[in-house]
Amino acid sequence: MRCSGSALVLLGLLLATAGAGCGGSSGESGPPQAPDHLADGRKTAIFEPGPIAVSGPTRDPTLDEVAEFGIDTVRVALTWQGVVATEVPPGFDPGDPAEPHYNFSAYDGFMRAAAARNLKVMMTISGPPPLWATDGGSVDSPPDPAQFGDFVTAVARRYSGDFDPDGSGGAGPLPAPAMWSVWNEPNLSIFLQPQLRNGAPYSPILYRKLYLAAQESIEAVDPQAQLLIGETAPTRGLDGVDPIPFAKGVLCLDPTAAADPACDSGHIDAVGWATHPYGTRGTPPFVDPPGPDFVTFPSLANLEGVLDDGAAAGQIADDLPVYITEYGIQSKPDPLVGVPLQTQADWLSISEELAYADPRIRSYAQYLMRDDPPDRVPGTKYGGFESGLRFWDGPKKPSYDSFRLPLVVRRDGENVSIWGLIRPAQGATTAEIRVKDGGVEKPLRKVDTDAAGVLTLESDYQQGRLWQIRWQSPDGETFEGPWTRSYSFELPAP
């Protein structure tokens, strides 16, 4: 959840002036390559470089690092407002992937750069819409689902895997996404309006109409396309709809929504519900949210219950999986919501263990390699997002190393349970757990991981002890995670 609302709202302005982007140091042998497939039992980690890294000088270095981490999927949000003119041009054909009044150049470059590194792309087609595509021509008017469907047709055809924008065969057809998703955080007013009508939730049924229009357009191009629905923020923000009542409305479980004709037309073919379970300000990922209708890590079971009700009502498939498609923890130097740097590293690792503990969760996510620039939002300081693994100007945070080698030490009385992941490993490997007592470092134990690169072990708790993973890659390079302390929390029931 981009609390400032800046990330996608300003994307159109950024892309209007951005070039195709370059700057990666690929060397003579080409850029690093993401794994062809993940090891059995490994959950997909979806890395989103952020709108600034869609194009420009940080794009290629960021994608290089993502591939070197062992990540195989990146997310990009393609905004309707960001690629089309503010007024309808004469002769405009909204469903034409070659329509000259669209400007997809930044996304074309990103898709080719990702493919060059063997990275799969999850593309979220999102608003805000251009004002001419709304029912009332204003920012608080609902987008027209039919016009959105036409736009999605152009996007789906352009990124079908068969479309060559040059027509010359030089660079070849543009790559296709491995997965599609529809509308970023539609339960927030900064991305979709109106949220309410006459004081009652309206965005859920509006989103359902938009999703079904997009689904029809995408499936007309690729009947086997993999689509996600939802992309919900963890709360309603200032004036939106909390994700639990939002999901109930989308799935026609709410009586008011069920009365709308949209509940009697179209069937949702999604392969999963996408969610962004950010914690509330300064709260550890294992602490319950302050409201029952919020969706953070401890309350994901509430969302799963709604999905089960939706399946029982015939709205979606049984046991619909949950995909975490955006997530992060903001750190210092953000003075309002940023946690200490080591805390960010620890909480990210804990969040990933929580994702692994729930078999219904299919993916984990990381939003940003680099923090947004501190002046990203004009007139504010740190108005963007500070969830990156690097500071905005490049230096690594402790979370950079903890993301490569997540480690969680969970205390239970006089014992600890240790969970870790060797992310770059593409199968079983061996790592060393080290401890630090009173400043003195020593090895604790060498541990064999399972086929997914996950390690677990039990050990004794000692007051003040710190833990660390050390791992040597097959080519002999040694990596170390940051030192972490123990935490006391419960894993979700399986």
Which of the following CATH numbers is that of domain 6-404: 3.40.1580.10, 2.40.30.10, 3.20.20.80, 3.30.470.20? 3.20.20.80
Q: What is the pLDDT of residue 311?
A: 98
Q: Rounded CA gap, 167 and 437, in Å?
A: 65
The pTM (predicted TM-score) of the whole model is: 0.93
HSE of 408, CA atoms in CB hemisphere, 13 A: 27
Q: In b/e form, how buried is each residue of 16-33, taking b as 16+ CB within 10 angstroms? A: eebeebeebeeeeeebbe
CATH 2.60.40 assigned to 411-480? yes
Amino acid sitting at position 189: S
Query: How many Cβ atoms sit within 10 Å of the Cβ of residue 468?
Result: 22
pLDDT lower than 70: segments of the chain: 1-28
Q: What is the pLDDT of residue 96?
A: 98
Q: What is the pLDDT of residue 378?
A: 82
Q: What is the pLDDT of residue 50?
A: 93
Tell me whether strands 227-232 and 466-472 are parallel, antiparallel or unpaired. unpaired
- Both tokens of 294, joined, read 């919020």
Q: Of the candidates 420, 403, 408, 342, which has an alpha carbon nearest to the alpha carbon of residue 368? A: 403
Per-domain residue ranges of the chain: 6-404, 411-480
Cα separation values, 305 from 247, 300, 450, Å: 11, 9, 31
Distance of CA 345 to the CA centre of its chain: 18
Strand partners, 456: 419
Q: What is the pLDDT of residue 170?
A: 80
**What is the chain's Cα-based Rg?**
22
Task: Give me the sheet containing 466-472, strands edge to edge.
Answer: 440-448, 430-437, 466-472, 478-480
Q: What is the pLDDT of residue 191?
A: 97
The secondary structure of 331-365 as a DSSP string is: BTT-TTTPBPHHHHHHHHHHHHHHHHH-TTEEEEE
Q: What is the pLDDT of residue 89?
A: 83
Q: Tokens 């021509």, residue? A: 137
